[in-house]
Chain A
Amino acid sequence: MQYVADLNAAKTTGAAIEIDRVSHVYAGPEGGVPALSNVSMKVGAGRFIVIVGPSGCGKTSLLMMMAGLRDHTEGRIDVHGAPMPKPDPERVGVIFQEASLFPWLTTFDNIEFPLSLRGMSKDERRRKSQPMLQLVGLTGFGERYPHELSGGMKQRVSIARGLVQDPPVLLMDEPFAALDEQTRMTMGHELLRIWETTNKTVVFITHSLTEAVYLADEVYVMSPRPGRMIDHIMVDLPRPRTYEMMATDTFGRMRDRIWQQIRKSH
Chain B
Amino acid sequence: MKYWHIILIRAAILALVLGAWELAPRWGLVNPMLLPPLSDVLVTLQIQLARPTVQEAILITALEVIVAFIIAVPIGAAAGVAIAEFPYAGAIFKPMLFYVFSIPKSIFLPMFILIFGIGFQQKVAYAAFTTAFVVLMSATAAVESVKSDYILVARSFGATPLQILRRVYVPSMMPVLLETLRISMIFNFTGVMIAEMYASRTGIGHLISNWGENFQMPQLFAGVIMLSVVAIAFNETVRYLEARCSTWRT
Chain A residues within 8 Å of B149, by CB: 96-97, 99-100
What is the CA–CA distance of A61 and B250 in the complex, to the nearest angstrom?
31
Q: Which of A87-95, A191-199, A221-229 is the contact stretch?
A: A87-95
B154 proximity list for chain A (CB < 8 A): 113, 117
Does A243 lie at the interface of the complex (its beta carbon under 8 Å from any beta carbon of B)?
no
Which chain B residues border A69 with CB–CB below 8 Å?
152, 155-156
Convert B214-250 into 0s and 1s, putting 1 for each residue whose CB lies closer than 8 angstroms to a CB of A.
0000000000000000000000000000000001111
Say yes or no for B99: interface residue by CB 8 A criterion.
Answer: no
> Total contacts A to B, CB within 8 angstroms?
61
A93 to B157, CA, bound (A): 8
By the criterion CB–CB under 8 Å, are A88 and B158 in contact? Answer: yes
Interface residues of A in 66-106 (CB under 8 A from B): 67, 69, 86-89, 92-94, 96-97, 99-100, 102-105
In contact, B167 and A145 (Cβ under 8 angstroms): no
Say whether A94 contacts B156, CB under 8 Å: yes
Interface range on chain B (Cβ under 8 Å from partner): 20 to 34
Once bound together, how far apart are the Cα atoms of A103 and B154, in whole Å?
A: 14
Chain B's nearest CB lies how many Å from the CB of A178? 12
Give the residues from 129 to 166 in chain A that come closer than 8 angstroms, CB to CB, to chain B.
145-147, 165
Query: A88 contacts which chain B residues (CB < 8 A)?
Result: 158
- How many angstroms from the CA of A93 to the CA of B149 in the assembled complex? 15
CB–CB A87/B156 < 8 A: yes
Answer yes or no: A188 CB below 8 A from chain B CBs. no
Query: In the complex, what distance in Å separates the CA atom of A113 from the CA atom of B156?
Result: 11
Do B157 and A89 have beta carbons less than 8 Å apart? Answer: yes
The residues of B that contact A117 with a CB separation of less than 8 Å are 154, 157-159, 163, 167
Could you tell me the distance in whole angstroms from the C-beta of B203 to the nearest C-beta in chain A?
41
B213 to chain A, nearest CB (A): 51
A14 at the interface (CB under 8 A from B): no
Option from B157, B167, B171, B174 in Cβ contact (under 8 Å) with A87: B157
Judge whether B150 and A102 touch: CB under 8 Å. Answer: yes
Contact with A along B159-193 (1 / 0, CB 8 A): 10001000110011010000000000000000000
With A69-B152, A96-B149, A99-B149 known to touch, is A146 a contact of B248 (CB < 8 Å)?
A: yes
Q: Are B156 and A67 in contact (CB under 8 A)?
A: yes
User: What 9 A-B pairs come out closest when comparing CB atoms?
Assistant: A114-B157, A147-B250, A94-B156, A104-B171, A103-B248, A104-B248, A100-B149, A89-B158, A145-B248
A-B contact list, 12 entries, CB within 8 Å: A69-B155, A69-B156, A87-B156, A87-B157, A88-B158, A100-B153, A104-B172, A117-B154, A117-B163, A146-B248, A147-B249, A165-B157
Chain A positions near chain B (C-beta within 8 angstroms): 67, 69, 86-89, 92-94, 96-97, 99-100, 102-105, 113-114, 116-118, 145-147, 165
If A114-B157, A117-B163 are given as contacts, then 17 extra A-B residue pairs at C-beta distance below 8 Å, sorted by A number, are A69-B156, A86-B158, A87-B158, A96-B153, A97-B149, A100-B150, A100-B153, A102-B150, A102-B153, A102-B168, A102-B171, A103-B248, A103-B249, A116-B167, A118-B158, A145-B247, A147-B250
Taking Cβ atoms with an 8 Å cutoff, the residues of B that contact A are 147, 149-150, 152-159, 163, 167-168, 171-172, 174, 247-250
